[in-house]
Amino acid sequence: MDSFDDLLSRAAAAPLALSHEELVRILSPADEAERAALHAAAYGVKLRVSGPRVFLRGLVEIGNVCAKNCFYCGLRRDNTAVHRYVIPEADVVRMARWAFERRYGSVVLQSGEIEGAAHAESVARIVRAIRAFGGEDFAIVLSLGEQTEEVYRLWREAGAVRYLLRIETSSPSLYATLHPADHSWTRRRDCLRALGRLGYQVGSGVMIGLPGQTADDLAADIEFFRDENIHMIGMGPFLPHSQTPLGAVCVDPARQLALGLDMVAATRLFLHDRNLAATTVLQSLAPDGRERALKAGANVVMPNVTDTAYRRDYRLYENKPCLEETSDQCRGCLERRIASIGETIAWGEPGTSPHYLAKRAAAQRP
């Protein structure tokens, strides 16, 4: 196998240039010098793909009711300590309009996973209302879990253009350790495929540093993004929540942060042209966690624009940051933080995935 530096050079020169074993190697830096080289190489690729710019997705957590019972998530169905809420449609639209008027390029509507006709129609009405004032250049992103293809079609026709659905792990056996027996990894993967058929820009992601997870598993996760033609990727380290079955798992915050940043960098080096998020969970592990992810190859940040009255009740993990900051405070803070690392916010730009644009252009050629 080539030296670590040679692997980085080859990966930076062309996408998909590494074997599985070589991906495992760059995901396993031997020391801080190798880790710094990994992040620098990934940042160089990011600069070529999208420049020193960050695309914003204003996040609205529209409800925390969830039918799922995942062993790690604070919103799990059996957690009776959670105060459940669903934000009225008009208020969701108002929050999305706030993001639009302040030149966020897109809005993300996220909730716990629930299915049903009333829910589907409610989301469709919200999407239509946002599309009416936002037009085509204000991208509407949904992150509402597993649904039927018919529901995904309804939301696509209403005006949603992107969908985020984390696979959580590409390993069905590891997935089974995180969920009850009635949760299906295959259905989740099939939902991603249905979204692709319907023309969505498809986003997914995994958790990093799970109990029993290896570098081999993480390399397979990156290959899953390649094989399933994922356009947008959001990944974060696993953090336990005390009110869940996995709440007693001990994690080393420094290790989780290092693994998360290494995974961002390795994904950028292998795939090159996907949108990669600097996720909020990284900020839970270090005050500058999101900025460090941007310097390791990420190019998207999703600041929370939900009214503060709801934020404390939407916690998948503990120690979630920015629960009390108003959306205006968050916007100003974020702009200063991004400027501090020599980057700028791409105000008003939807930040469409370069991979999605390339695939669409190829499909339209005669």
Give domain status of residue 10, yes or no: no
Q: Which residues pair with 53 in a beta bridge?
A: 344
Mean pLDDT taken over the chain: 96
**CATH no. for residue 238?**
3.20.20.70
Give me the pLDDT at residue 362, please: 84
Which residue type sits at 85?
A: Y
Give me the pLDDT at residue 328, please: 73
C-alpha 102/C-alpha 210 separation (Å) is 37
Give domain status of residue 9, yes or no: no
Which residue type sits at 220?
A: A
Give me the pLDDT at residue 361, please: 86
Q: DSSP labels for 179-202?
A: S-TT--HHHHHHHHHHHHHTTPEE
Give me the pLDDT at residue 278, please: 97
**3 state DSSP class of 65:** coil
Give me the pLDDT at residue 177, please: 96
Give domain status of residue 4, yes or no: no
Give domain status of residue 6, yes or no: no
Classify each residue of 331-364 as buried b or exposed e, where b means 16 or more C-beta atoms within 10 Å of its C-beta: beebbebbeeeebebbeebbbbbbbbeebeeeee
Are 289 and 247 within 8 A, CB to CB? no
Parent domain of 75: 16-361
pTM equals 0.96
Measured over the CA atoms of residue 361, residue 163, residue 54 and residue 261, the dihedral's sign is negative
Predicted confidence (pLDDT) per residue in 303-314, tens digit: 999 999 999 999
Give domain status of residue 208, yes or no: yes
Give me the pLDDT at residue 332, please: 80
Give me the pLDDT at residue 330, please: 77
- Kindly provide the residue ranges of all beta strands, DSSP E only, lying in the chain, ordered along the sequence: 53-63, 106-111, 139-143, 162-164, 201-204, 207-208, 232-233, 236-237, 275-276, 300-301, 344-345
Give me the pLDDT at residue 305, please: 95
Predicted confidence (pLDDT) per residue in 321-356, tens digit: 877 777 777 788 888 999 999 999 999 999 999 999
Q: How many domains does the chain divide into?
A: 1
Give me the pLDDT at residue 312, please: 92
Give me the pLDDT at residue 254, please: 96
Low-confidence ranges of the chain (pLDDT < 70): none
Give domain status of residue 343, yes or no: yes
Percent of the chain with pLDDT over 90: 92
Q: Which residues pair with 100 in a beta bridge?
A: none
